[in-house]
Structure 1
């Protein structure tokens, strides 16, 4: 009996060592990518914010289109990555390339459709988020330029996201960070007309994004082409050699995630519409608060991605016990992070607000919104890690779709519009009430995790 207990302890210790080693390998590059991206995005918003509140509201409204598109791509790639991670567990690079081929085929098609819609119907799309004529005009100008980056982004996302699944992140992180830095420098030049460049305002920010995306995609493709040992190295025909059976199998897992992420993005954007009913100032404040919150959540994105990769690899090796234990370890880390991040957001709320040089009323409103956001971190990030890091990694994508979409539509969206239109609450109270959706979602997903019904071996 004692020998069995010692064996169990040794096995648990091995699980922990393996988990933290792989967590470090995958999570740290993802965190770095997100911190660089979101941090410089915060600087971009500072640049645009100094043009005026309406310029900031316009860019925030236009960015919602990309946000929905990027979340659909994320849904596609993360759903398909269940296969990539499990194939990587048995080092089947042939099928990994086929899955990436499916990603690119569907992703580029979605990007092309989004590009055409954004180009032709830019004013109508901005009108959904704001009725202010100046905001609509500025937003349409930004959107009709930045939409040229969508197809490039869909390809880049596919390569970077799947690099996480095969635990090859060093080069992708460096390239991504460099591209974002280029984007920020060009923003400074093209928004204000520095270093001999024209002052283009919001359109300059959009053009900077397009140029940075070109540099990023070119760099990634060149790196993969010259690195013959990379799992993604190979002729295009290898990526397009998937058959109908494999396409249907991968999409069966990916489609629920596409609807989950697309639905979540749509609901988040509609919640943004509810905020917009409180005026351009509210839109500007929310735009800043969301980026600050995203920056504070970067470590969770790394944790969620790493957890999904580790669990997926374990299930590919048919080690369900290890997969379950890894999920438990991830949730313990999440609880610890929640305390740290909540205190961090409260501490930086005033310094962040003071940077923007708004009037005293807007500055005070921004501080209140940032403080409110701090208290919504715990349920939001618990739900994120449970769904994106654990349940999806086990192929439990349909269940995740039902829970995520039902909570978002029936609870989050309803509360947002009820709080604004009926209760006439200030925006910081609306932010807090909306988080009830994440509380319900977390409770349900915790029960699903402990049931172990989410663990499926798909390869």
Structure 2
């Protein structure tokens, strides 16, 4: 678990930590610039979650093939991932180019925010296809436990992105000052470098499970494709639905003003940074359970799931206290007015108390149930709780009760509490364990 979890945690800490720095850079341009970028990144957020759903669903097969030492099967799953990912990213690219202002309008009615957001979106969308290919390599590297090079390449690309952000946003080191468009361009350049490094690494390393010919990757038949999609599509709908509901919740927050959008943008990144350890735990749990099921060791898979939940409870206590302690220092970094700064502190504290149900649900669904191929149940629980509970509470709290944003954040967590209860029952039933390979 440590071998798999630590590199994933490092990847996420670097990514989220530098994303926090990026938001600080953009935030210093102004609240409207920050709101614009936050709104523009919602399309990428949905797209990336759909990719995550596709790849993590297909990774059920990769992990079990890895446990069964079937490298030919692994390559075919990678081929399915690439074909589907490139198709999805191409659609997202076209949508961003043709409908950028309308997409930003969903989140904000401010004309300046719409103009800045469209400017950012029409530049950053050139990274979508590159990102879909990179994601396929990174997610499946976890399933085959080849994480060292992936972590180094991914971390280096994120650092390059941050440095370029600084140069292109503010016009440093002889580069033009491009504002929000500079941030988008930095992303495109960093993603290009990242994918190039991955391709070279895999091409040179002939012992890597992903090293193969075009035919080896794309010789999958319709039967395998359909079987993988039966597992992956529910996860795509789960993650895509979750991302869509999260973005619509972002719409509800946006009704409270540009300051609320800016505050939520910062709070989400800080919360993600504090939760990076859970992402590592969830990935490690999924790989270990998938490998165990690939060897038909069902009781071991069940025990690993129980171990992961005990670790999650321990981490919850630590992260909750940590978020409360850092809330004021984080808010002080941003040069907002007094009212917005106070709002940020309260939102961070609210987020601290919602960590426990959110992360329990995450590890149960992403780390345990999906690894057992129980993707339809995960879809039913996740989507119903998100749509019926989270979305309705968010809009009701804003439009009817007129509650401040920190109260809305707390009430929305009722969705995660419900998910956790339902998923715990499913785990103990053992109905989630399926051998799919």
Q: Normalized against structure 1, the TM-score is what? A: 0.95
2:297 aligned with 1:319: yes
- SS of the equivalent of 1:231 reads coil
Number of aligned pairs?
A: 437
Pick one of 383, 396, 399 that aligns with 2:361. Answer: 383
Q: Equivalents in 2 of 1:296, 1:89: separation in Å?
A: 32
Instruction: Give the Å deviation of 1:230.
Output: 0.4
> What's 2:395 paired with?
417
* Aligned twin of 2:185: 207
1:349 to 2:327 alignment: yes
Note if 1:368 corresponds to 2:354: no
Structure 2 residue aligned with 1:4: none
1:66 and 2:44 correspond: yes
Q: Which residue does 1:453 correspond to in 2?
A: 431
Task: Report the counterpart of residue 399 of structure 1 in structure 2.
Answer: 377
Shift of 1:90: 1.0
Q: CA RMSD in A?
A: 0.3
Question: Displacement, 1:237?
Answer: 1.4
Q: What is the rounded CA distance, in whole Å, between the counterparts of 1:420 and 1:138 in structure 2?
A: 26
1:136 aligns with 2:117: no
Partner in structure 2 of residue 433 of structure 1 = 411
**Cα separation, 1, equivalents of 2:274 and 2:166:** 24
Runs of 4+ residues over 6 Å off in structure 1:
none
CA offset digits 1:83-110 (Å, max 9, x no partner): 0000000110101000010000001000
* Residue equivalent to 2:65: 87
From 220, 225, 229, the equivalent of 1:242 is 220
User: Does structure 1 residue 163 correspond to structure 2 residue 141?
Assistant: yes
Matched, 1:303 2:275: no
Q: What do the CA deviations read for 1:341-387 (whole angstroms, capped 9, x no partner)? A: 00000010000000011111111100000000000000000000000
Counterpart in the other structure of 2:232: 254
Q: d(CA) in 2 for partners of 1:143 and 1:357?
A: 25
The secondary structure found in structure 2 opposite 1:121 is helix
Q: 2:386 corresponds to which residue?
A: 408
Distance apart, 1:284 and its partner CA: 0.2
Identify unmatched segments of 5+ residues in structure 2. Answer: none
| Cα displacement (A) at 1:236 | 1.5
Q: Does residue 1:96 correspond to 2:59, yes or no?
A: no
Unaligned runs of 5+ in 1: 1-22
| Residue in 2 that maps onto 1:196 | 174
Query: Which residue of the other structure, out of 183, 192, 197, is the alignment partner of 1:219?
Result: 197
What does residue 19 of structure 1 align with? none
What is the TM-score with the length of structure 2 in the denominator?
Answer: 1.00
